[in-house]
Amino acid sequence: MIIYNTSFIIDTPRYGMLLTWLRETAVPAVTAPGTKALDATLMTLVEVPGDDDFTQQARNIMLQVTFDNLQDAHLWSRNSLNSLLLDYSRRFGPEAVAFRTISERLPL
């Protein structure tokens, strides 16, 4: 199973706006029928060990979307995620950051 993680980092005062946008607009768009996304999860970073001040200045929300294979994840990125990231940049401005990673779940 492939997990496509997109981390959105934004200043703390706009965290609620970002969470609302992700829930109401972004997630439904990138998990619509035909995208080959199996599941989506939103997570938030609650602590950076050793950095007691982290969430006072910035917040991080991760959108994790699962796929059967890497080819489906790449297709999804080209067809769905890229336009989402453009919208994110337009809505939240140049100080909002996003980065992506792709992982594979391994059996224990």
Report the percentage of the chain scoring pLDDT > 70. Answer: 95
* Kind and range of the H or E run holding 18: helix 15-21
Q: Looking at the predicted structure, is the pLDDT value of residue 93 above 90?
A: no
Mean pLDDT, the chain, integer: 90
Tell me the pLDDT band of 54, cut-offs 50, 70 and 90.
Answer: low
Query: How many Cβ atoms from other residues are within 10 Å of residue 63's Cβ?
Result: 22
- Give the neighbor-by-neighbor strand order of the sheet with 58-67: 39-44, 58-67, 2-11, 97-104
- In this predicted structure, what is the pLDDT of residue 49? 74
Sign (positive or negative) of CA dihedral 84, 35, 64, 22: positive
Residue 53 has pLDDT above 80, yes or no: no
Banded model confidence at residue 4, pLDDT cuts 50, 70, 90? very high
Encode pLDDT of 6-24 as tens digits: 999 999 899 999 999 999 9
* Domains of the chain by start residue, with CATH: 2-104 (3.30.70.100)
